Structure formats: C-alpha cells, structure tokens
Amino acid sequence: MSTEPGQSRGGRIRLVVSYDGANFHGFARQYGLRTVQGVLEETLTNLLGVQIDVHGSGRTDRGVHARAQVVHFDLPYGPPANRLVHVLSGRLPSDIIPISAHNVDSDFHARFSVVRKTYRYHIFRGVHPDVFKYRFSWHVREPLNIALMQRAASHLVGEHDFTSFCAAAAPQEDKVRRIYEVNVVESGEDAFLYCSGSGFLQYMVRIITGTLVDVGLGDISADAIPDILAAKSRVSAGRTAPAHGLCLWNVEYPIVYGGRVLDL
C-alpha cells in the first residue's frame, strides 16, 4: 500500500493517554470485554486498515484510571506523530484522551524501558459524599490520623518482598519490588497517597492504601508494617482499597527517552 500525502512511512510511536477507567475491564485486552488496550488497537487498526498491536507501560485493573498511561506501537505508515493526537481525538471514545505522540527508536518499549512509575490514590474525607468526586475517590468518613499513616508508609520505602501487599493469586513468582517514595498529602477534605516505585504487583497500591487507612483509623499499628512485610501473607495486611480511587499518575523513562512523561 502506498503512502498518501501527509502520511509518514511509519516507525515506532510512543503515545500518552489518559482515561476514566470506570467503564473499562482494565487495560489489558480480554476477549469480549471492553478494555483500554482493546479499544486503542481497534481504533488504530480501523484507521490504518492493518492490524496494530499496542503495548502498555503496565496494566491497570478494572475501574482504575490513568492520568499518564504510555503505550507504544509500530506503524507501517500513517499520520505523522505530530498529527496523531488530533486524528485519534476524533476517533477514540470520550473516556480515552490522547495527550501526546512522538516517534521513538525501535529499542524503546513502553513497559520494559520504564525506570519509575507513580500512582496516586485519592481519599475524600468529607462528612457527606461529593457528587463530583465519587467516581475518582474513596469516601472515608471516619477521621484519619495522617501522621500515623505517613509513619507507617516510611516502612514501605526500599526493596522488600511485597507478598503481603499483593493479590494472593498474583501470577508473578518474584514478589520483590523497590519503592522509592510513599507520601500522604492533605488538602482540605482530600488526602492523596502518592506511591512511586520501579514496578508494582497486582492490587499492590490498593492494598498499601487500604492498610495505611487502617493505620489511620487506629486498627493497625503504624510500626506493624515491618512484621506484615516479613509475614509474606496477604491476610497479614489490611483491606484492599476500592479501584475507583486509584490513578496511574506518571511514568518515567531514561533521559534519552524523555524522562518523566508529565509534570507532577
């Protein structure tokens, strides 16, 4: 097929998208279910008339959102990267928003080139529910001791076996991960938990959040985290926070690939 005017001759594209995860069964394609990867692949395939495979920086679970999900795909031809956002904006559903697109070399991989990911969890602490926040936050009415939550969070920083903080059925055999930072930030009736690391296990940030909320409520000691880690058992940690409060906030690559995708 010949290249039409205004089209590139293809190559690898890095695309950054945001999405509201409420009506998706997660990021990864699943037969017969609406997923972010599936919608992106279907849209690109219909646009170009050839099968396009999309690779993401990581999977988000059903109901989890993304401010900065990074994907890459290889185009045989198509719109130049600087026009791709405009083209996709008119074709993607309203709950997926393309942010930026760039040409990258073939060594770049949306997942395997990542050096750091940051998730943000939004806790709303108002007395009454907020109709403008319920889709993107966990409403916790009871008072939270943020100082104790931050103290507990400090025990999670570093390289640990996070078996206690992931789904019991998580497929990864190696449960060791490195966490660079866990911060709990207050802003009026809101509290935001930021968790940065080299990679995460299934439900890991949600279980970390749920456990820290249990600490804030006084149900778990702030200094119990090292023992919970050592137990290597899911039942030792606290609850799993709801999916809808979680957002993939940022992804960072080596400087050669542009570093941090979005400003924090």
Which of 20, 53, 61, 95 is an active site residue? 61
- Binding site annotation covers 119? yes
Does residue 61 have an active-site annotation?
Answer: yes
Listed in sequence order, the residues at least 6 apart from 131 whose beta carbon sits closer than 8 Å to its beta carbon are none
Residue-by-residue DSSP string for the chain: -PPPTT-B--EEEEEEEEE-GGGSS-SS--TTS--HHHHHHHHHHHHHSS----EESS---TT-EEEEEEEEEEESSBS-HHHHHHHHHTTS-TTEEEEEEEEE-TT--TTTT--EEEEEEEEE--SS--TTTTTTSEE--S---HHHHHHHHHTT-EEEE-GGGS-TT---S--EEEEEEEEEEEETTEEEEEEEES---TTHHHHHHHHHHHHHTTSS-GGGHHHHHHHT-GGGS-PPPPGGGEEEEEEE--GGGTSBSS--
Q: Rounded to whole angstroms, how far apart are CA atoms 42 and 58?
A: 19
Contact present, 78 and 7 (Cβ < 8 Å): yes
Q: What amino acid is encoded at 234 in this protein?
A: R
Which residues are identified as catalytic?
61
**From the annotation, which residues make up the binding site?**
119
**From the annotation, which residues make up the binding site for substrate?**
119
